[in-house]
Structure 1
């Protein structure tokens, strides 16, 4: 019966893309008309590029636009979908509001794409927390092969099995972690990113050389500063502020990060971050 993704931002688009590319009818909820109007075309262009590079079957690329539907509100979603993934900004109150509305559409599985917010805290306002969990995707979703499945205290085993099956159906590997702040991947990823930012602040090396060290010495596919630009420095800052309330000073936002976000240099999406993306 298909899936739905709530939120047509960077992550929401990526999640919608991988499901549609796998042949799954996918509905995206995006209330902002300017973004909604171009969403299908943007993902169709991505599919064509993927086919040209041999990363996506040509037939799948051609079929992808026809599998995508964009609606302006959660209330417009069909009832009883197999899976609904919420992917709105990392603001707990907003997520709780969106999840409560999504649950009323009675999906078989309800998931949140969060990198740091407690699954139990988000589940507290739901009528069926057993059918709710975290499905943490990674940016760019079409390239990175992992989905982190986060089990809340009330999450049923059947929900975990279902989430892993959905991940496998779109060609992703999955890991299962319990609901602790930052889960597994965000704690690892962000501690490296924040340390790289502090090294840049201290003049240890230029951004390109810090990233090159991570790529060449440790086999990372992308350096922590370039990855931060891709993720969004505003997203990094939100995560830092949240994790520092739990784990203390080691996750405190670097002053450089605070300053760049205040100046509107958010990374790739604004054209300027640690790198020039224009």
Structure 2
């Protein structure tokens, strides 16, 4: 727990996409432990409700909203419910994303798969910020964190769409950070390595062999925990990180260290 650094979180509200599981869920829980009111947004209604129940069980306040980040109308409606429930928006964690289904060399990559990944992992971040920023400006500022990846700073063989999307998130973050730094919104990104989440379970095929192959790529000798990413996100939203602008924070156990 960050112990509400400098009073950063008193009376504040956070909007978290991809909150039904993994990094999104753990970040929603971490915000709530700091006293932040949380809006859990996800396309999975069941997982979303489970996240809210976990928050309420630890004494926090939260609501669940169904949200497809590729649809502006969904995002507007979810943020409308945020204001209706809590009256304000201070922080956003734009974390919703998907993993590649069919790795292939660039010239053989399916256009449908390219469009699917770019639409959710990059365009979804843009759409969320487009609708979040005016609400945060109404409060005189706040913070936004976007989820990129280790794939946002290096190339990944066989994953042109995912690599392009995650690189794009970093570029988008930097541009938006410069647009709104003078208006007291600090915008940054996190770049997780291999994190032990349901998404990673799908990526590895859920097998011991698949997990071992992934862990072998981590110099630290293990996968990361979603709680470790959550702690970084919450810190980036605190007053302690107010001078951090347009940064892509790599949290990957040394995987991308050159």
Task: Look at both structures and tell me which one has the larger radius of gyration over its CA atoms.
Answer: 1
TM-score, normalization by structure 2: 0.47
Say which structure, 1 or 2, has more relative contact order (CA 8 Å, 6+ apart): 2
TM-score, normalization by structure 1: 0.44
